[in-house]
Chain A
Amino acid sequence: QKEVEQDPGPLSVPEGAIVSLNCTYSNSAFQYFMWYRQYSRKGPELLMYTYSSGNKEDGRFTAQVDKSSKYISLFIRDSQPSDSATYLCAMGVEIQGAQKLVFGQGTRLTINP
């Protein structure tokens, strides 16, 4: 079983729709939860990060973490064509002073005008 599972999609929705991207994980030691966005032919860039259960909002984006269910989500409101990208969840933990970050497979999202 993979430590982090993410539906690879692809996911295609109309402009203005609410998008939900999800990841599950098996390692209860994960302390930090991140979402990276990767545009075509670019490297990933950090979109949001949180370390506790609950919701964190940043503009049209909301990151949700449920540690009891080992489940994280990214919601995008009023989706725009510029949101079209691959979204990667990532989970982190410190082990003996070293950083361990595990990425999901990525979900490819297309917002249609």
Chain B
Amino acid sequence: DVKVTQSSRYLVKRTGEKVFLECVQDMDHENMFWYRQDPGLGLRLIYFSYDVKMKEKGDIPEGYSVSREKKERFSLILESASTNQTSMYLCASSPRRAANSPLHFGNGTRLTVT
């Protein structure tokens, strides 16, 4: 079974802090993704990566950056956290670039910015 592990289940941070969300997958998948999930808005893609040291912007990249130094690890960085970044963050991986390649999700990190 593919396992995608997000390092924190809950995080509480203050406005202006730099925040790191970590994600590790154990199935040697090439592709990794960061989504945020908000009520009424569904899942929205923040950033994704098809290879080590490679990153592409998703639909809502503003205020975020990412790092992929190793194939199994994909980090989401909030450079200066703001209250509108309070959300559930979901990391996912997939084995192929094709649109029908299933996403395997972690269990999410619920971030609260006060």
Which residues of A are interface residues toward B (Cβ below 8 A)? 4, 6, 8, 31-32, 34, 36, 41-46, 49, 51, 88, 92-94, 97-101, 103-106
Contact = CB atoms under 8 A, between A and B. Distances in A.
B99 A100 contact: yes
A83 B50 CA distance: 33
Nearest to B4: A43
A31 B98 CA distance: 11
Contacts of B98: 94, 99
A93 B42 contact: no
Contacts of B103: 36, 44, 46, 101
Nearest to A30: B99
Contact of A41 (B102, B104, B107): B107
B14 interface: no
Contact of A92 (B44, B99, B108): B99
Contacts of B101: 99
